[in-house]
Amino acid sequence: MKRLLIIMVLSTCFFTLSAQSIVLTGKQTVDKKNRKPELTCTPVKITKTMKISEVEGNCKGFWIQKGSITTNKFTNLEDAIGTLLKPGTYYVYPYLKEGKTKADVNVTIILLNGS
């Protein structure tokens, strides 16, 4: 019984912690024939102000859109860390590196302390 209780508590803690972070993922590819770029991102809706805590990607920077409006542009991935995102629906898209036809970016956002 104690084991079951410990497992339940640990599972609840893990779920709570993982629910406080979200990863925004964006991709850009260019069709080699017609050189037309294609952007893909699953939008994320946040209801509280969140902070960018980590950025990873194979890109030359990225931009963030809130709805259809570009809110932030970064040419250095690390520069985004600490940026606050207010409630809304967000998209993220990577800039291509020179000579490349594919790029991706993953932006982790976390709840602010006390949110």
Residue 4 pairs with which residues in a beta bridge? none
Domains held by the chain: number: 1
β-sheet bridge partners, residue 111: 50
Q: Is residue 63 part of a domain?
A: yes
Instruction: Encode pLDDT of 11-54 as tens digits.
Output: 333 333 445 899 999 999 998 888 899 999 999 999 999 999 99
> Would residue 15 count as lying in a domain?
no
> pTM of the prediction?
0.80
Domain assignment present for residue 4? The answer is no
Burial 43-58, CB ≥16 within 10 A → b, else e: ebebeeebbbeebebe
The reply to whether 45 falls in a domain is: yes
**Is position 67 within any domain?**
yes
In this structure, is residue 57 part of a structural domain?
A: yes
Instruction: Summarize pLDDT for 61-101 with one digit per residue, the tens.
Output: 999 999 999 999 999 999 999 999 999 999 999 999 999 99
**Which range of residues forms the domain containing residue 55?**
22-111
In a domain, 13, yes or no: no
